[in-house]
Amino acid sequence: MAEDPTVSVSRDYLSTIEKKVKDLNSLIEVSSIISSTLDFSDLITLVMEKSKTVIQAEACSILLYNREINKLEFAVALCEKHPDSERLKGITLDMGQGIAGWVAEHRKPLIIENAQDDSRFYREADKLTGFETRSIVAAPLLGRSGLVGVAELLNPKNKDSFDGYDAEIFQALCRQVAVAIENALFHRAAVEQERLNRELEVAAIVQKSFLPESPVLEKGNVRVSAISIPASQVGGDVYDFLDLGGEKIGVLIGDVSGKGVSAALYMAKVVSEFRNIAYRTDSPDETLQQLHARLSSSPRGMFLTCIYGIVNTLTGKARLSVAGHPPFFHIHEGKAEVVALPSGPPLGILDSEYPVESVSLSGGSKIILLTDGVFDAKNSAGTRLGFEQATALVRDHADGDNIIQIIADSVDTYAQNIKPADDLTLVQIEMNKR
């Protein structure tokens, strides 16, 4: 029987094969890491630790590309000898700034054998950490959506071979890193959106609990009704009806600054404070002054525009005070009149007086209060409805039995199903016909 042929190979060749097998196993390990977690912080740390080991570098870093500001931001920096590398996380680089900025701008890898002699080298990083950068290998992280960031290896052991095999290994690692980062960022965004959705659901429930149980209040000769349509899940508009006892009811309409959860929480505070004050005061101006005092300690930039009126349910006399809120409509004898009462500033901004003015309701006459979501509505061309057109709309339907519903429907038709940018609220105070 013939003996198997024996093949002799050099130790260098065998070492090369062993290194390639080891590097291939490392790439497989990186793939396994990518599949094992979607936690962004854990993932990039694990991947870069493995990359640093494979390439045998003293330190490594990843800078992520922030599209909103068009800058690179340090996301992770690993260096066992210099734990101060964590201080780099507050640094941002412009596109083209430093080695990483150049790589990001040109979308090309770069090998710098002597960093200290390169005019592009960003020296502040070494000053912050105490690390001495001698050589750099940097490559762009390119994903499905384009530039993700830049990966850097500092002081690699075999920098002389980076124009060949080691460069290919590093770029293969970078491709995997880019995919891993994109997946982790997409996951983080989805988790954050889910968290926000849950917060909005809770805020919407809380907000709804502070509105009147019924959008209609009838007492004596007066009927009050409301329509409120938030622009999103939670809104910044507020309205309230109060039975103040005797022959009086209180009617509030308002618009808080801001949107989303912060506006919803502020609105809840407004309603709670308003009710506490309104049941103990007999004048609209005093109510607004006390409410302003309580809102003035709110976070900067939060304020409330509103109209508050106390209506006599037998005589129809309404006493009203205004805090920076849009004019309203008084409909009587089939005609609609724009009423712009003297006003103080929005509540929560400046101490001021809030003059009290009277409007008398007779049989069949109405007061229509509204927020700016009515006339700020836009159509598909981006054109606002505007106050003049809103006024014409009210005048055209002054004889309508349910005019606030007509207005709301007309605004919706005008907007052509375009998502509204602002909340819309309408309140109608009507004196029954005798």
How do residues 26-52 score in pLDDT, each as one tens digit?
Answer: 555 666 555 556 566 666 666 666 666
> What phi, psi does 223 have (nearest 5°)?
-125, 125
Specify whether the backbone of 258 is left (phi greater than 0), alpha (psi in -120 to 50) or beta: left
**pLDDT value for 47:** 66
Contacts 24+ apart (CB under 8 A), 338-344: 338/391, 344/288
> What phi, psi does 12 have (nearest 5°)?
-65, -45
> 95, 107 in Cβ contact below 8 A?
no
- Between strands 216-219 and 222-229, the pairing is antiparallel
The dihedral of CA 97, 100, 104, 108: what is its sign?
positive
As assigned by CATH, the class of the 212-431 domain is: alpha beta
- Between strands 71-78 and 92-94, the pairing is antiparallel
How do residues 103-151 score in pLDDT, each as one tens digit?
Answer: 999 999 888 889 999 999 999 888 888 888 998 888 898 888 889 899 8
Q: Where in the chain is the domain with CATH 3.30.450.40?
A: 11-190
Contact residues for 338 (Cβ-Cβ < 8 A; gap 6+): 327, 328, 329, 391
Residues in the chain with pLDDT < 70? 1-55, 80-86, 158-167, 169, 203, 207, 233-235, 434
**pLDDT value for 16:** 55
Nearest to 329 by CA among 385, 392, 269: 392
- Between strands 57-66 and 222-229, the pairing is unpaired
**pLDDT value for 53:** 65
Distance between CA 140 and CA 104 in Å, rounded? 6
What are 56's two structure tokens? 């045998």
Q: Residues, the chain, total?
A: 434
Q: Where in the chain is the domain with CATH 3.60.40.10?
A: 212-431
Nearest to 359 by CA among 337, 391, 388: 337
Taking only Cα atoms into account, the Rg of the chain, rounded to an integer number of angstroms, comes to 34
DSSP 8-state class, residue 90: G
> What's this model's pTM, rounded to 2 decimal places?
0.62
Nearest to 150 by CA among 79, 95, 87: 95
Residues pairing with 356 in the sheet: none
Burial group, residue 195, by CB count within 10 angstroms (0-12, 13-18, 19+): exposed
**pLDDT value for 298:** 77
**pLDDT value for 277:** 96
Distance between CA 208 and CA 204 in Å, rounded? 6
Distance between CA 427 and CA 101 in Å, rounded? 57
DSSP 8-state class, residue 3: P
Q: Where are the beta strands (DSSP E) in 201-342?
A: 216-219, 222-229, 237-243, 248-256, 304-312, 317-323, 328-332, 335-339
| Superfamily (CATH) of domain 11-190 | GAF domain (3.30.450.40)
